[in-house]
Amino acid sequence: MEKRNVPKHIGIIMDGNGRWAKQRGLPRSEGHKAGANVFRKICDYADEIGVKYITFYAFSTENWRRPPEEVSALMDLFRAYLREAEERQEENREKGMRIHFLGHREGVPEDILALFDTTEEESKDADRIDVNIAINYGGRLEIVDAVKKIAEKVRNGEIEPEDITEDDISNNIYTAGQDDPDLIIRPSGEYRLSNFLIWQSAYSEFWFSDILWPDFTEADLDKAIDDYNNRNRRFGGV
């Protein structure tokens, strides 16, 4: 087989957990649990094939609109997952995964924020793959947060408004310092971004599929990468 070009940064919208559970007559929370296991598996596989950055969309700023039972089931799942990962620190370090949480901190329970901080701190020296987990993430809010930081610099006289560039935005969003996603994957049959990486995806390639996230396999990731290899990225050129 011809050597394929593995995207440096892949973004994944982990969608379809609820429908997966419904198909099985299970509560939606069971779909989220199944989805979390797939997250683990795909994260390991991405590392294995040489992906450098991977961003998983786990909870959007709009997901607070869901029934309180579902929101709290999701928060419980994040909490349990992060506590468990904390116990396996050594193993995680060996895996070389540097974890970042992307999102707006306000609104997230304090104990979960503390788990974000310790997880990031403990993994900060890992250098094989950067794993971004987007929780309480919204692309528009991310841009608003960046604009506020830049406005503060203007107020302090550090920068003139006419000198603001695209790089200033890129350097003040949650993914500052990372390459933009080359490929964005959305399973579950929806054809939209739902406020995911809207600044960063200006020139991303998109891959959609009807597979529900808990059914997503390594072979599906391979298929997405193979299709990506047949795309012609022009970036506005010829």
Interface with ligand IPE (CB under 6 A): 13-19, 57-60, 63, 74, 188, 190, 192, 194
DSSP bridge partners of 10? 54, 183
13 makes contact, choosing from ligand IPE, Mg ion, none, with CB < 5 to 8 Å by partner type, with ligand IPE
**Closest approach of Cβ 220 to ligand IPE, in Å?**
16
Q: Which of the residues 47, 63, 168, 229 is marked catalytic? A: 63
- Nearest residue (CB) to ligand IPE, 119 versus 188: 188
How are strands ordered across the β-sheet holding 205-208? 97-102, 129-137, 53-60, 9-13, 183-186, 205-208
32 part of the interface to Mg ion, by CB under 5 A: no
- Nearest residue (CB) to ligand IPE, 58 versus 184: 58
Q: Which single residue brings its beta carbon nearest to ligand IPE?
A: 18
Of 13, 14, 15, 92, which one interacts with Mg ion (CB under 5 A)? 15
Cβ-proximal residues to 142 (8 Å cutoff; 6+ apart), any chain: 102, 104, 173, 174, 199
Tokens standing for 220? 């599906």
Does the annotation count 15 as an active-site position?
yes
Closest CA relative to residue 184, chosen from 137, 221, 210: 221
Tell me, by CB under 5 A, how many residues bind Mg ion.
1
138 makes contact, choosing from ligand IPE, Mg ion, none, with CB < 5 to 8 Å by partner type, with none
- Nearest residue (CB) to Mg ion, 15 versus 30: 15
57 makes contact, choosing from Mg ion, ligand IPE, none, with CB < 5 to 8 Å by partner type, with ligand IPE
- Where does this chain bind Mg ion (CB under 5 A)? 15
Give catalytic residues, as residue numbers.
Answer: 15, 63
